[in-house]
Amino acid sequence: MRLMPAAAFLAASLAIAAPVAAPAWAQSPPASIAVKPDVLIAARQSAYAMSAGTFVGMKNAIKDGEDLKPWAQAAADMAEWAEVIPSLFPPGTETGHDTKAKSAVWSDQAGFAKAAGVYADAAKKLAAAAKADDKAAFAAAFKDTAKACGACHKAYREKE
């Protein structure tokens, strides 16, 4: 048996190792569910706008000392939304539909995903506090959530 020349062996092993796996959320969808960039950008912008409306409602609920239980589902939905945020910024949606996303979203995908994770964790705490109608915990989680919004915007969103 002939030994494989070192160069050929190296080439063969490189060929196996070469495809660097992209994070799951960054992989291209099958063509059958491909969405136009403008549509995806509009969808993420409206989800942000709706979540901001929900957030203002929570702020008023705190101020008015409302029963918090009715906010539990909305907070759980915010956490779910936070978890899918990174998947709504695939390559190819850097421009279009007047996006305010900074290029850092794509150059620092790990940081962006982490910022979304901080948001998701805070929103989960909001949901748990609402479910328990724990006003102090809800107010604290609200502050943490607001911080998560602000921190991500500072790094990843253009100013209006």
141 binds ligand HEC (CB under 6 A): no
The torsion of the CA quartet 116, 82, 109, 29, rounded to 10 degrees, works out to 170
Contact 119, 75 (CB under 8 A): no
Instruction: Please report whether residue 135 would count as binding ligand HEC according to CB under 6 A.
Output: no
* Sign of the alpha-carbon torsion through 62, 143, 80, 53: positive
Binding part of the chain for ligand HEC, among 4-12, 95-103, 124-132, 135-143 by CB under 6 A, reads: 95-103
Side-chain-side CA neighbours of residue 149 (13 Å): 16
Which positions from 58 through 77 interact with ligand HEC, judged by CB under 6 A?
A: none
- Residue 97 or 135: the one with the smaller Cβ distance to ligand HEC is 97
* Cα–Cα distance measured from residue 64 to residue 66, given in angstroms and rounded to the nearest whole number: 5
**Closest to 79 in 3D by CA, of 133, 118, 137:** 118
**Does 156 participate in binding ligand HEC (rule CB under 6 A)?**
yes
Among 51, 58, 74, 138, binds ligand HEC (CB under 6 A): 51
Examine residue 85 and tell whether it contacts ligand HEC (CB under 6 A). yes
Q: Which residues bind ligand HEC (CB under 6 A)?
A: 41, 44-45, 48-49, 51-52, 55, 85, 99-101, 105, 112, 115-116, 119, 145, 148-149, 152-153, 156-157
